[in-house]
Structure 1
Amino acid sequence: MNKLLNTAFAYIILGLGSGLFYREFTKATDNLGTHSQLNTLHTHLLVLGMVVFLVVLALDAVFSLSGRRSFSVFYWTYNVGLVVTVAMQAVRGFLTLDGQDPATTSAAIPGIAGLGHMLLTVGLVALFVALRAGIKDRTARTEQAALAV
């Protein structure tokens, strides 16, 4: 459970830092008021990173998820997918603020971002597999305890 708490903490640091960076970077480059993918980077890191891992931490405390193979698949694929996704979001944001059109700059940008989204999806499916097994185990333990009484 400490790993989940530390992961959530890392994402809050990244999320708050990216918000601060966006504000200072747009002021320094005279791009205030220009909307790009950078202005939502902090929200993605805070919600998809910190909030998700805090919710998973609570689920782990109730359903003992962290010892399962599917939970390890969730943890690593979700983290890699989130890092890839926000990295491509940052690249798109920098290109937009530089006056370029990210869609025409390189076809690799949306392709890699799509790969990040696919990894996020695989991670979330693995989380639900772990959650289903955790609920099943907890229900079985509850029924055994009720029969023992």
Structure 2
Amino acid sequence: MTAQKQPKTEQFDSGHSIVLFDGVCRFCNGWVQFILKHDKHDQFRFSPLQSDFVQGLLMAGHLHNISMDSVILLDGSKVYTHSSAVLQIFKQLGGGWSLLSWFRAVPRPIREAVYRFIAKRRYQLFGKYDSCMIPDANVRSKFMD
């Protein structure tokens, strides 16, 4: 299994999968916009890694041994990071997007190397915001503070 077990996840189990992302990264914000557009079943909620919500999870010990330079998916009692998070999101989006989850067949070290290559260069390639995005009123309820 590619998910890491974490204790006390019922504390942040909202009935939705929660995507944690770098709120100042333009690429990461584009990824969130992509998920919002294709989330036909209202499965996902979002929070920037820089938010009070995530800081509270860290301080309470709900997240540990987590690389904060990654997209993180909290799905019930499971925590997915890096390429595993991306592939799980595609799987949950369903439809044709779920076919991309078959990339799990690629050995994890190769997937992670590609993910880290992009993640390490995300600001240089795509840019960076000065502050986290402020969601518009149409999607504000999908973001956790």
TM-score tier (shorter): under 0.3
Higher helix share: 1
Calculate the TM-score normalised by the size of structure 2: 0.28
Higher strand share: 2
Larger CA Rg, structure 1 vs 2: 1
Q: Quick one: higher RCO (CA 8 Å, sep 6+), 1 or 2?
A: 2
